[in-house]
């Protein structure tokens, strides 16, 4: 069964600590994305990647970093520079070159600050 | 600058009736529009989409209408069912190789028995 797996489902971070959120997909999609959702708001794009070893900043990249060493994996690191990291983080993937193909989402990771 | 807006935070509809969710956008470069449905603590699930070359797309109980001159789209659900209760997000994209989606704030739909 193809899909996107995000782990962990819940994550707690201490002040000044970096944390890494995992995202794995077995849909053979080239493009992967990270979004952040805050209460009462829509999803905002953090980073995206269209191909292995390449990624671009989205609208709110400050305080975050990513890597794309494998097609299946797109981990997101929330650094200590991110001043308001408490949010629901969603990973998505899609086919490249076919604009009418929708993004598929994982079930998210909720990050909280201790 | 909110490029995609859903002005109704919530909507309550009687079971069996039509639900109409609305979405407005400002960027005339958007050429692809999608609706996603989201349950609490889960990721959004794709519902239906429409290309800017069309003004209507239908899939079962779900129909999306696009009015390009008004920069407005709407999602119609008929008949509404209790399982339709969720948050609905509209999203838009000006496809440039990657599908960079811009989302609205979401509308919480509640279907009453």
User: Which A residues in the span 21-50 are in contact with B, Cβ-Cβ below 8 Å?
Assistant: 31, 33, 35, 40-45, 48, 50
- Of B32, B23, B18, which Cα lies nearest the Cα of B3? B23
Regions of chain B short of the pLDDT cut 50? none
Task: State the smallest CA–CA distance between residue B22 and chain A in angstroms.
Answer: 15
The pLDDT score that the predictor gives to residue A1 is 61
pLDDT in tens, chain A (114 residues): 679 999 999 999 888 899 999 999 999 999 999 999 998 888 999 999 999 999 999 999 999 999 999 999 999 999 988 889 999 999 999 998 777 788 999 999 999 988
For residue A70, the 8-state DSSP code is B
Does B65 lie at the interface with A, CB-CB under 8 angstroms?
Answer: no
Q: Which two tokens stand for residue B87?
A: 């948050």
The pLDDT score that the predictor gives to residue B111 is 98
Does A53 lie at the interface with B, CB-CB under 8 angstroms?
Answer: no
Does B43 lie at the interface with A, CB-CB under 8 angstroms?
Answer: yes
B34: chain A residues, CB-CB within 8 Å: 102
Does B32 lie at the interface with A, CB-CB under 8 angstroms?
Answer: yes
């Amino acid at each position: 069964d193809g899909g996107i797996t995000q782990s962990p489902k819940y994550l707690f971070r201490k002040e000044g600590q970096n944390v890494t959120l995992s995202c794995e997909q077995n849909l053979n999609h080239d493009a992967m994305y990270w979004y952040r959702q805050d209460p009462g708001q829509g999803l905002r794009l953090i980073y995206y990647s269209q191909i292995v070893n390449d990624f671009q900043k989205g609208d709110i990249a400050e305080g975050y970093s990513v890597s794309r060493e494998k097609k299946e994996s797109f981990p997101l690191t929330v650094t200590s520079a991110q001043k308001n990291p408490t949010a629901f983080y969603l990973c998505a993937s899609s086919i490249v070159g076919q604009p009418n193909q929708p993004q598929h989402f994982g079930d998210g990771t909720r990050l909280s600050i201790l | 600058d909110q490029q995609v807006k859903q002005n109704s935070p919530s909507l309550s509809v009687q079971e069996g009736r039509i639900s109409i969710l609305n979405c407005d956008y400002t960027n005339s470069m958007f050429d692809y529009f999608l609706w996603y449905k989201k349950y609490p603590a889960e990721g959004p699930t794709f519902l239906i989409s429409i290309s800017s070359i069309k003004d209507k797309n239908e899939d079962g109980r779900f129909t999306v209408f696009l009015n390009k001159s008004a920069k407005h789209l709407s999602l119609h659900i008929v008949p509404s069912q209790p399982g339709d209760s969720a948050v609905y997000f509209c999203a838009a994209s000006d496809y440039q190789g990657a599908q960079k989606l811009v989302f609205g704030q979401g509308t919480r739909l509640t279907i009453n028995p």
